[in-house]
A = this chain, B = another copy of it.
Amino acid sequence: MRDMMKQEVLLVVLDEYADWEAAFLAASLNAGVTPESGSKYVPKVVAPSLEPVRSIGGFRTVPDYGFETVPDDYAALVLIGGMRWRSDAAAGVVPLVRRAVERGKIVGAICNAASFLAAHGFLNVVRHTGNTLEQLKLWGGSAYTNETGYERRQAVADGGIVTANGTGYLEFTRELLFALEADSPERIRASYEFNKNGLYSV
C-alpha cells in the first residue's frame, strides 16, 4: 500500500550514460536519504525503448519505461549525462522536457544533458550551470541566449530546473533532494557531507 503512495522520479538514460551521475540520486530516492528516514519517492528508469541501455561502465540497465510509455504523473524528470545527448535518441527527450516544464515539474540535467537543455532553449529563463560555459555556447548556438545566467558552480537550482557539471554528481543529488523536499535539509546536508568527504581523510 505504501508504495502506491510514492511519487515517481523519472531518470532518463541513453546508451553510454554516466553511471556515477545517476548512482547517488537513485539510491537516495529508492532507499531514503538516510537508512532510517524512508522515502516518499521511487526512481524509475526511462530510456528510448524497453530494450536495455548500456552505461559508460558497460552495465546493461533494463528500463522501466520507454519514451512512448512515460506516465503522466511524476514528481521530477531528471536527465542523466552521457555520450549520446546530441544523437537522434536524444531528440525524443525534447517533448518530455517541454511537457514537464509546461506542467511545472522539477527538471534536472547533468553534464552533457545540461548542454542538451541549452541546445533546446530550456536554460534561457533560469540561472544554471553545466560542464562549462564554452560547451553550453557550443551546443546551444543561437538557441542559447542566457550566457549571463550561467554560474561557475558544481550545481545550480533555479525556477524548478537543476543543472550540474559532470563532477557535480553529489551537489546535483543534493539540490534535487532539496527541490523534492525528499527529507529534512539537515539530513540531506549530512548525507552530502558524508559522501563528499568520506569516513576518513586518508
- A61 pairs with B60, CB closer than 8 A: yes
| Given A23-B23, A27-B19, A198-B58 contact (CB < 8 Å) | no
Across-interface contacts of A108 in B (CB, < 8 A): none
A23, A154, A202 interface centre (most CB from chain B within 10 Å) = A23
Binds B, one of A65-73, A119-127, A164-172, A179-187: A164-172
Across-interface contacts of A44 in B (CB, < 8 A): 58
A160 touches B (CB below 8 Å): no
Copies of this chain in the oligomer: 2
- B153 pairs with A200, CB closer than 8 A: yes
Across-interface contacts of A58 in B (CB, < 8 A): 26, 29-30, 42-45
- B57 pairs with A29, CB closer than 8 A: yes
A190 touches B (CB below 8 Å): no
Across-interface contacts of A29 in B (CB, < 8 A): 57-58
Nearest residue, chain B, Cβ from A201: B154
In the assembled complex, the CB of A143 is this many whole angstroms from the nearest CB of chain B, namely: 24
**Measuring CB to CB, which residues of chain A are less than 8 angstroms from any residue of chain B?**
18-20, 22-27, 29-31, 42-45, 52, 55-62, 131-132, 152-154, 165-168, 171, 194-195, 197-200, 202
Q: Which 9 A-B pairs have the closest CB atoms?
A: A26-B57, A19-B23, A20-B23, A60-B62, A167-B198, A27-B57, A30-B58, A23-B23, A27-B56
